[in-house]
Amino acid sequence: MKNSASIMENMPDSGSNIEEAKKTEVFEPRIIGFLCNWCSYAGADKAGAAQKHYSPNVSVIKVMCSGRIDPQFILDAFRKGADGVMILACHPGDCHYKEGNYRAVQRHRLLLRLLKQFGIEEERCRFDYVSAGEGDRFVSVINETVEAVKKLGPLKNY
Amino acid sequence: MKTAVYFCNCGTNISDKINPEKVEDAVKKKNGDVIFKTFGFLCSEEGKEFLRKDIIDNAVDAVVIPACSPRDHEKTFMNVLSAAGVNPYMMQMVNIREQIAWVTEDGEKAAAKAVRYINAAISRVNLQEPLEKKEIDISPDAVIVGAGPAGLKAALSLAEAGRKVTVVEKSPTIGGLPVRYEEIFPNMECGPCMLEPIMGEALHGDASGNIEFLTLSEIEDAVGSYGNFTVKIKRSPRYVDTEKCIGCAECIAPCPVSFKNPFNCGINDRKAIDFSFAGALPNVPYVNAGVCLRFNGRGGTGGGSCRLCIDACPVGEEVFNFGEKEEILERNAGSIILATGSALYDCSKVPSLGYGKIPDVYNGIEFERILASNGPTEGNIRTSAGEEPQSFAIVHCVGSLDKNHKDYCSGICCEYAFKFNHIIRNKIPSAKIYHLYKEMVIPGKESGSLYRHAAEDKNTVFIRVSDINGMTITEENGRKVFSVKDACGSVGGIETGGIRSGVGGAGERNETGGEIESGEKISVDAVILCPAVVPGEDMDRLAGILETAKDKNGFFEELHGRTDAGRSKIKGVYLAGSCHSPMDIKEAMNEGMAAAGYVLSGLVAGKKLSIDPISAAVEQERCSGCKVCIGVCPYKAISFDEEKEASFVNELLCQGCGTCAAACPSSAIKANGFTDGEIFAEIGIMLS
């Protein structure tokens, strides 16, 4: 179900397209990107304002702070079929809420250990920093992650 | 719930890439009865009016707006919702311009992504709850801690704007450190003369009725939060009535006991009843109960009968109140301004420089008092042997720019070092002055003049030393001797080529024709150490009471070092002056003014404080009482209710980051606007 690159991929009745896509064997990973409101979301807007094209595979969910990202959200995303998850935060020292990004990075480190036990590769759960000014960096972080997950292939259901 | 999607074409910015009809079809297929409308420019006046009317006409409860970034127009559309009678938090913007249309090459893929995002927003908005801004009553008044330049300026500015302020000063006098300096850089103004008009205005001016000065007072406790602090203040007795005393000083001479005057750094004595220094304000002496015979009566009873001061008083016995006790006062204030100032790094922590061991080695403040005409020597510079010193070493950068001491530059020491140079030169025209420094920092448009005076002076020598704190100053035959073997560069007058840096510069010929050899010993009569500016001694206690964070150097930490340096990390507690960073008087005055600005703009009399509903709330029945949330909250907004054995959030302090919600192992914390349910719904639809 996750191999379609067409507009119809979300439609329940798009079976024929999926069949078609399967034939071409193009794997389009589905990735959830959690972005903090103040830095990384603004960085994404910056890339937008500069009209820099990047891979459309990452679906952005905005939170006020990367510290809001409950590890359960990430597990839920994998459970619901995500091939990858990204957490983008303010650079160290830049957090709008002072230290939420430190909490986020701590939780991410711990979560990686758990994901490993589930057989989910580290590359599928990327933590990175993107500032409000780093439109180019946002683009490269997105493209890199999509490429990395493409290389790994679809996450097997478990 | 009736949900409507208002798709903004943004002219052609969005519709050029994403076909609105295709999106409409897909969204309607997935979401049955959803209303879907498209408009050219939703943010235009026509667009907003269309939106408002359509929401009313269709009795819409929740709105999804695929358009630009919410960072652009979220507020705009929230206002439209309010105007249409719908709770403004019943809305989700979908950023299909910056984050889809403009960044996706393929139109089909862009449309598919937009559909995904819009579907997710619909599922989310249907879970959203109307959130209400709460309003609370506030006190527009302020408590200011510290009556130095920053505190005085803040007090005066607020009082002139009609605010009541209480200034809490732990010493018996106001004016802070600079009021004790004879002259002030960069323009050699007289310190007391510069500050007295401000102090006079605060004590007796038109707005003085709004200022309450509590000297000999300290903050004992503070409860409450922004808008409504209750501050407990401990006031120690002065034993002299500030209202009745006329400040004539008749009581001082008859007093039979003395002690080292801390205001003159213990260089001379003062009487048990005395002024801190001549001209100290308020112009009322105070009694040191530690030495006064009435408290330390002969016979050891503690109840002495000495009344020499009372008998000398022309006003009469009513001026004195030796029965005065320590008092705890309470003041309500919406804001607290910390203007507690700073201190100098303890030079004895660099023992090789001889401070505290070798006579005539002073720190900057001690030398200020020696230079002051109201100081212990009435402005005469004399060695411990009673002679006029003929040579000085002024050592910059003591304990500074050194990771073993303080790794920063305080930015004011070079300026006052050149001020000392100027004053010494006027008092002792033939004196030889050596400036030993690691780095020279003289910022600002007015600071060049004092530096130039020193640099062009024939008897002033600059020696750059690579390791100031590694230098050794010893005493030989009453003279202070040091070697310049540590010098990495040395030079005399500016005409010989200016200040030179670089290794191996020793041996440079200076203007006087002398040559300083590497390893040469130099002896002087007096040494002045200019140490790093460090946090004041009472800061730890105060930080503990107010729960304000301190930075790695122990100064109060700013909310943001550049954009919000006047705010502490506790809402409603502001920082002014050198309590948060070393600075000069000009900066401190400006910061006092800035802190007053925060108070004036943040809290307005009669206006309620509105609280952003994007905040966290604890579901107390679910709370296990583990207190993890309290530890992760960066704003100290969460407290523990011992009775209910559950945490609770102070909505006023909560900034809505949601870190606590993510940390709660019982999922007992709801992050309003970003609840678990809303985010899980988004994840689900994004991946469906």
* CA-based end-to-end distance of chain A: 15
Q: Whole-angstrom distance between the N-terminal and C-terminal Cα of chain B?
A: 22
**Environment class of A10 (CB within 10 Å of its CB; exposed 0-12, middle 13-18, buried 19+):** buried
Q: What is the dihedral of CA B267, B271, B275, B279, to 10 degrees?
A: -60
Instruction: Say whether residue A130 is in contact with chain B using an 8 A CB cutoff.
Output: no
For residue A48, the chain B residues in CB contact (below 8 A) are 69, 95, 97-99, 102-103
Q: Name the band, by pLDDT with cuts 50, 70 and 90, for residue A17.
A: low
Q: How far is B452 from chain A (nearest CA, A)?
A: 40
Which of A56, A77, A98 is opposite residue B104, by nearest beta carbon? A56
The predicted structure's pLDDT at residue B488: 53
Give the gap in angstroms from C-alpha A80 to the nearest C-alpha of chain B: 6
Domain topology for B612-672: Alpha-Beta Plaits (3.30.70)
| pLDDT for the residue numbered B519 | 65
Restricting to B residues 479-538, those with a Cβ less than 8 Å away from any Cβ of A are none
- Say if B686 is an interface residue toward chain A (CB within 8 Å): yes
Q: For residue A78, which phi and psi values (nearest 5 degrees)?
A: -65, -40
Taking only the tens place, the pLDDT of each residue in A84-111 is 999 999 999 888 888 899 999 999 999 9
Residue of A nearest to B559 (CA): A98
pLDDT greater than 50 at residue B289: yes
Pick the residue from chain B with its C-alpha nearest to A74. Answer: B683
Residues of B in contact with A65 (CB under 8 A): 657-659
Evaluate whether residue A12 is within a structural domain.
Answer: no
- The pLDDT tens digits of the residues spanning B184-207 come to 999 999 888 889 899 999 999 999
Give how far A130 is from chain B: nearest CA, Å.
15
Distance between A36 CA and the closest CA of chain B, angstroms: 9
B120 has a chain A CB within 8 A of its CB: yes
pLDDT in tens, B292-350: 998 886 644 456 788 999 999 999 999 999 999 999 999 999 999 999 999 999 999 99
Residue A6 and residue A12: Cα distance in Å, rounded?
13
**Residue A142 forms contact with B (CB below 8 Å):** no
Q: What is the pTM of this model?
A: 0.75
DSSP H stretches of helix in B126-182: 149-160
Q: What was the pLDDT predicted at B406?
A: 97
**Domains B3-125 and B237-325 alike in fold:** no
Q: What number does CATH give the domain B3-125? A: 3.40.50.11610
Residue A2 in any domain: the answer is no
Among the ranges given (A138-142, B391-395, B397-401, B556-560), the one the predictor scored with the smallest mean pLDDT: B556-560
Question: For A28, which residue in chain B has the nearest alpha carbon?
Answer: B109
**Domain count across chain A:** 1
How confident is the model at residue A157, as a pLDDT?
62
Find the CB nearest A7 among B108, B656, B658: B108
Residue A8 in domain: no
Task: Considering only the beta carbons, identify the residue of B117, B634, B684 that sits closest to A98.
Answer: B634
For chain A, what is the mean pLDDT?
87
pLDDT per position as a tens digit, B234-249:
999 999 999 999 999 9
Determine the residue of chain B that is closest to A106 in CA distance.
B663
pLDDT of residue B497: 31
- A100 to chain B: nearest residue by CA? B659
Among A37, A153, A128, A78, which Cα is nearest to B93's? A37
**In terms of pLDDT, which residue wins out, B134 or A154?**
A154
Task: For residue A93, list chain B residues with Cβ-Cβ distance below 8 A.
Answer: none
pLDDT, residue B500, reads 37
Mutation target for B interface from A26, A59, A102: give the one with most B CBs within 10 A: A59
| Residue A95 belongs to domain spanning | 29-152
Q: What is the CATH number of domain B237-325?
A: 3.30.70
Domain ranges of chain B: 3-125, 144-223+539-609, 237-325, 343-534, 612-672
Nearest CA in chain A to B658: A68
Task: Tell how far CA B341 is from the center of its chain.
Answer: 9
| Average pLDDT for A45-51 | 94
- CA atoms within a 13 Å half-sphere pointing along the CA-CB vector of B27: 31
Residue B501: pLDDT band with limits 50, 70, 90 = very low
B578-606 tens-digit pLDDT: 999 999 999 999 999 999 999 999 999 88
Structure tokens at B411: 């930015």
CB contact B102 to A (< 8 Å): yes
B530's enclosing H/E stretch is strand B526-531
Query: Which of A5, A12, A48 comes nearest B102 by C-beta?
Result: A48
Residue B412 has pLDDT above 80, yes or no: yes
What pLDDT, on a 0 to 100 scale, did the predictor assign at position B421? Answer: 97
Distances in whole angstroms, Cα of residue B653 to Cα of each of B4, B187, B231, B615: 34, 44, 18, 9
C-alpha span between B419 and B412 (Å, rounded): 11
pLDDT tens sequence across B524-579: 999 999 999 999 988 999 998 988 888 999 999 998 888 899 999 888 999 999 99
| % of chain B residues with pLDDT over 70 | 94
> B688 falls in which pLDDT band (50, 70, 90)?
confident
B45-57 helix and B70-83 helix, angle to the nearest 10 degrees: 50
Chain A residues with beta carbon closer than 8 angstroms to that of B570: none
Crossing angle (nearest 10°) for helices A135-152 and A40-49: 100
- B651: tokens are 């909505």
Measured distance CA(B422)–CA(B398) in Å, rounded: 20
Residues 25-64 of A with CB under 8 A from B: 30, 32, 41-42, 44-45, 47-49, 51-54, 56, 59-64
How many helices (DSSP H) and strands (DSSP E) are in chain A?
5, 4
Helix (H) or strand (E) holding B31: helix B20-31
Gap from A106 CA to chain B (nearest CA, Å): 11
Q: Do B116 and A59 touch (CB under 8 A)?
A: yes
pLDDT of residue B120: 97
Q: Which of B209, B156, B478 is nearest to B339 (CA)?
A: B156
Residue to test with chain A: of B99, B115, B670, most A Cβ within 10 A = B99
Q: Bridge partners of B573? A: B336
Nearest to A56 among B70, B113, B559 (CB): B113
Amino acid at B13: N
Instruction: Kindly state the greatest CA–CA separation across chain A.
Output: 50
Rounded Cα distance between A33 and B116, Å, is 14
**Does residue B495 have a pLDDT over 50?**
no
Tell me the mean pLDDT in the region A14-40: 76
A157 CB within 8 Å of a chain B CB: no
Q: Does B115 touch chain A (CB under 8 A)?
A: yes
Nearest to B118 by CA among B256, B234, B6, B33: B6
Contacts 24+ apart (CB under 8 A), B247-254: B247/B283, B247/B284, B247/B285, B248/B314, B249/B275, B249/B285, B250/B312, B250/B313, B250/B314, B251/B285, B251/B308, B251/B309, B251/B310, B251/B312, B251/B313, B252/B285, B252/B309, B253/B312, B254/B308, B254/B309, B254/B311, B254/B312
Q: How many CB pairs under 8 A join A and B?
A: 146
Q: How far is residue B503 from each of residues A108, B463, B507, measured CA to CA in Å?
A: 48, 12, 11
Q: Which of A54, A68, A76 has its CB closest to that of B103?
A: A54
Contact A32 B26 (CB under 8 A): no
Containing B63, the helix (H) or strand (E) segment is strand B62-67
Please report whether residue A120 resides in a domain: yes
Q: Is B22 on the interface with A (CB under 8 A)?
A: yes
The minimum CA-CA distance between B444 and chain A, rounded to whole Å, is 29
Q: How many angstroms separate the CA of residue B343 from the nearest CA in chain A?
A: 27
Residue B549 has what pLDDT? Answer: 85
Q: Domain containing A76 — which CATH number?
A: 3.40.50
Assign domain B144-223+539-609 one CATH number from 3.40.50.300, 3.50.50.60, 1.10.10.10, 3.40.1550.10: 3.50.50.60
Query: Residues of B with CB below 8 A from A49's CB?
Result: 98, 102
Residue B494 clears pLDDT 50, i.e. is over it:
no
- Partner residue facing A100 (CB), from B108, B659, B687: B659
Residues B103, A48: C-beta atoms closer than 8 Å: yes
Instruction: List, in order, residues 6 or more apart from B172 with CB less than 8 Å away.
Output: B215, B216, B238, B276, B280, B286
Peptide bond into B256 cis (omega under 30): no
The residue of chain B nearest to residue A59, with distances taken between CA atoms, is B686
